[in-house]
Structure 1
Amino acid sequence: MNANDRAITGFTMAGHAMVHTYELAVPILLTVWLAEFSVTSATLGTVVAVGYGLFGVGALPGGLLVDRFGSRRLIVACLFGMGSAFVLLGLLPGVAGIAVALAVWGLAASVYHPAGLTLISKGADQRGAAFAYHGMAANVGIAGGPFLTALLLVAVEWRTAVIALAVPAFVAGLAGLTVGFDETAAVDADAKTGSNDSDSDSDDDTTVPDVDSLATFVTASRGLFTAGFLTVFVLVLFNGLYYRGMLTFLPGLLSDFLDPLLAVDPAAVLGPIADSPAAAEFDLSRYLFAGLLAVGVAGQYVGGRLTDAIEPERGLAVMLTLLVVIALLFVPASGSLPTLLAVSAALGFALFGLQPLSQATIAKYSPPAYRGLSFGYTYLAIFGIGALGASLAGAALTYGSQTTLFVMLATFEATALGLAVWLIVRDE
């Protein structure tokens, strides 16, 4: 990597880690909220889906803003906004307060993916490596967020914990104001050599006008939604339903699965503080959840490297196949500790190994000039519409069973797999 690549990669790694630290702190907090408030999984799943939904819905206007104002400003605003949201989460009362604070977080976080991914795709020469490290940083947040949240919940009550979690975002935002890089270095280099990173559906449209009105937005959207991009859009939508439905209630599911398998006395683990209030908050499944998600770091790295080695649709199809199988095996594998750990580790690897391949596929089927808009649309699908996965998962657990949930998730990913296969076939 050259100096510009390193600066962009480091900046986006910090932002990506923060986004997913907060995103995956919520499932841990959900286990506390279910105990503290007299509400069902379906109700809290819907409350959480509000914030997660805005996380996705805001990606589309965020993508427009990226194409108009650049990535740095939006990423810095995202960091300050997320920190402020978690301060509100610690201060506002009741389930309604949780909904409001998570909505603020969702709106602030929503601009990150179109901003960060556009910055890498337009600024980094070694895009595959940058996507890999960027994805690995996400998994530092994905695993570190739950782990840090669990540790804080042992020491302090949850409202104090979430305010403490807000501090790193403010620090990262201040640091982001000083880092220097060229946001369009890779596109400028491509223009000089005449190369183009999009597929045959996407014109090399580097002279198109800014999307600064409804008319240009409609025109840009029409140009973007080729048959290939539309297929990618629907594909990532179903993967988003799987992602959100799987992770939102995973800590609670792991606790249910582990209780009959692990004869662990909290007093033996906590020692001298076994009789303290902190002991009541100790839940081994929270730490196992964080550890299993940490496996995703390896998945992100492998997925990112694969984007430089094979066509991304093919890698995507492999990961989607694994995720279908994993969903179908999860409940049967919960009967013993070794098989449960194995299927959970496989989930972490495949779920996050898919992400760089998905991002590279989005870039392939969209023109560079509207790359921010393309990521805005696709992250609207992944995190906006995909947020319904949390509500659907809560409903499946409230009115059905664990098996109902995992069969539903397998169906989502099987649909995405079919679309990935169609992309491969049409390219041959």
Structure 2
Amino acid sequence: MNGNDRSIVGYVMVGHAMVHTYELSIPILMTIWLLEFSTTAAVLGVAVAIGYGLFGVGALPGGLLVDRFGSRTLISGCLAGMGLSFLILSLAPGVVGVTVALALWGAAASVYHPAGLTLISNGVEERGRGFAYHGMAGNVGIAGGPLLTAVLLLAFDWRVVAAVLAVPALVAAVVGVTVEFDPTAAVELTDGGDLRGVPNSLAEFAGETRRLFTLGFLLVFIIVSFNGLYYRGVLTFLPDLLDSFLTAAVGDVRLGVFDSDGPIAEELDLAQYLYAGLLTVGIGGQYLGGRLTDAIEPDRGLVIMLTALTAIALLFVPAAHAGLWGLVAVSVALSFALFAMQPLTQATIAKYSLPESRGLSFGYTYLAIFGIGALGAAIVGAVLTYASASVMFVVLAGFSAIGCLLAVSLVTTQR
């Protein structure tokens, strides 16, 4: 990577890790809020759903803002907004205050993915490697956010923890303004032309949307929707599934790690450690996916990885029933393939979108991944309630198989 690539990638790695650190710290804090505010899981669930909902829905308007104001402005604003929202959270007097703070977090965080991915697409010459490092940093936040929050809660009240968590984002927002890089270096080198204006009216927005949604981009949009259904569906219920499979394989193994008098007194079972380990393994998957985008066309890489995800889903239950090592092996394979999809998906979106509308393209596709994909949790939850884990994995295989067929169609029709 050249100096410009390193500056951009370092900047977005920090931003991506921060977004997912905050995202995954919230479930840990929820355990405290249930006791602190004497509320129900249903009420608190609505409060948290508002923040997570805005995180997904805001991606589309976030994409428009990126095309208008630039990625640097949006990422710095995102970091500042997330930091300030957690400062507000530390002062929340009750559930209403928590709801407001999380809504502010969701709105601020929603602009990150369109902004960060646009910056990599338009500014980084070694795009595949940039996506890989960016994804790896996100996995550090996914795995490290809950752990960091839990460790801080061992020593401090949750309000102090929320305030402490706010500091890194605020510092990064200030530092980010001073980092020097060319945000359009890769466009000038590989795509040519200058970035033009963005829509100023609803009619212009509709026109830009029609221009963006070529057959190729429409296929990409549908593919990432099915990938989102698989991703959200499997990750939402994987901890409980791992617990069931591990109990069958080795019995009920629980490891007490927190002082019973501490703020989050509980015992973590082996499944939760395995789940955290799998999220960490996903860092390797991100790197693999990024390197694949440098070796082959990213849409062809999607065919390979979606085929792998289909096979893993069909083999998961038989492998898990084979014993502990079978469960570990198939779980590691799942994590690798699931997170290897992300750089390939991002590079494919860049390939089938227009440089001047990258923010809008990532806005639409992340609306699909986080918005439509969120239905995966509801679908999988219903299947587990009325059927079984075996049926659930068949449903997941169906999601990835449909995505794979569409990816094959994408490759063949765009020759």
Range class of TM-score, shorter chain = 0.7 to 0.9
Counterpart residue number, 2:350: 363
Counting only pairs closer than 5 Å after superposition, residues 26-41 of structure 1 correspond to structure 2 as 26=26, 38-39=40-41
Aligned pair in 2 of structure 1 residues 17, 30: CA closer, same or farther (>3 Å)? same
Query: Which one of the candidate residues 403, 410, 413 is aligned to 1:416?
Result: 403
Does residue 19 (structure 1) correspond to residue 19 (structure 2)? The answer is yes
Could you list the runs of 5+ residues in structure 2 that have no partner in the other structure? none
**Shift of residue 224, structure 1, vs aligned partner:** 0.5
> Cα distance 1:419–1:253, how it changes in 2: closer, same or farther (>3 A)?
same
Evaluate the alpha carbon distance shift between residue 425 and residue 228 of structure 1 in structure 2; reply closer, same or farther with a 3 A threshold: same
Q: TM-score, normalised by structure 1?
A: 0.85
2:59 alignment counterpart = 59
Aligned 8 A contact 1:146 1:287 in 2: no
Give the letter for the 2:401 counterpart.
Answer: A
- 1:123 alignment partner in structure 2: 123
C-alpha distance in 1 between matches for 2:94 and 2:316: 34
Which AA in structure 2 matches 1:4?
Answer: N
AA in 1 matched with 2:303: A
Provide the C-alpha distance between the structure 2 equivalents of 1:150 and 1:403, rounded to a whole number of angstroms: 33
Number of the residue aligned with 2:145: 145
**Residues of 2 paired with 1:398 and 1:25: CA distance?**
27
Which residue in 2 is equivalent to 1:251? Answer: 239
**Pair 1:282 & 2:267 matched:** yes
Q: Considering only aligned residues, what root-mean-square deviation do their CA atoms show, in Å?
A: 2.9
Instruction: Decide whether the 8 Å contact of 2:32 with 2:264 is kept in 1.
Output: no
- Mapped to 1, the partners of 2:96 and 2:397 lie a distance apart of 32
The question of whether the paired residues in 1 share the 8 Å contact of 2:16 and 2:134 is answered with: yes
**Uncovered stretches (5+) of structure 1, i.e. residues with no partner:** 191-195, 197-203
Measured against aligned partners, the alpha-carbon deviations of 1:164-222 in whole angstroms (never above 9, x if no partner) come to 433322222222122111111222234xxxxx3xxxxxxx7746432222222111111
Q: Which 10-residue stretch deviates more, 348-357 or 46-55?
A: 46-55
1:311 is matched with 297
Cα offset, 1:91, TM superposition: 4.9
- Identical-pair percentage: 62
Q: Take 1:45 and 1:391, find their aligned partners in 2: how far apart are those partners?
A: 14
1:14–1:137 Cα contact (<8 Å) kept: yes
Decide whether aligned partners of structure 1 residues 90 and 391 sit closer, same or farther in structure 2, where only a CA change above 3 A counts: farther
Paired residue total: 410
Task: Give 2:338's match in structure 1, choosing from 338, 344, 351.
Answer: 351
Quick check: 168-177 or 371-380, which moved more?
168-177
1:123 corresponds to which letter in structure 2?
Answer: G
| 1:46-72 deviation line (CA, Å, top 9, x unaligned) | 765543332222111111111111111
Q: Distance in 2 between matches of 1:395 and 1:33?
A: 27
Q: Which moved more, 1:153-162 or 1:386-395?
A: 153-162
Deviation string for 1:373-420 (max 9, x for gaps)?
Answer: 111111111112222333444444455544454333332222211211
Question: Quick one: distance in 2 between partners of 1:133 and 1:328?
Answer: 30
**Contact 1:150/1:287 (8 A) holds in 2:** no
Partner letter of residue 221 of structure 2? Answer: F
Highest relative contact order (Cα 8 Å, sep 6+), 1 or 2?
Answer: 1
How far has the Cα of 1:244 moved from its partner?
1.7
Letter in 2 for 1:211: P
Distance 1:101 1:398 in 2: 33
Give the Cα–Cα distance (whole angstroms) in 2 for the partners of residues 89 and 289 of structure 1. 28
Q: Return the match for 1:341 from 324, 328, 336.
A: 328
Task: Find the aligned partners of 1:102 and 1:294 in 2 and give their Cα distance.
Answer: 26
1:328 aligns with 2:324: no
Give the counterpart letter for 2:105 in structure 1.
Answer: W
Give, in whole Å, the separation in 1 of the partners of 2:159 and 2:379.
27
SS at match of 2:371: helix
Q: Does structure 2 conserve the Cα–Cα contact (< 8 Å) formed by 1:146 and 1:289?
A: no
Cα deviation, residue 161, structure 1 = 4.3
TM-score, with length taken from structure 2: 0.87
1:226 paired residue among 214, 234, 238: 214
The match for 1:71 is: 71
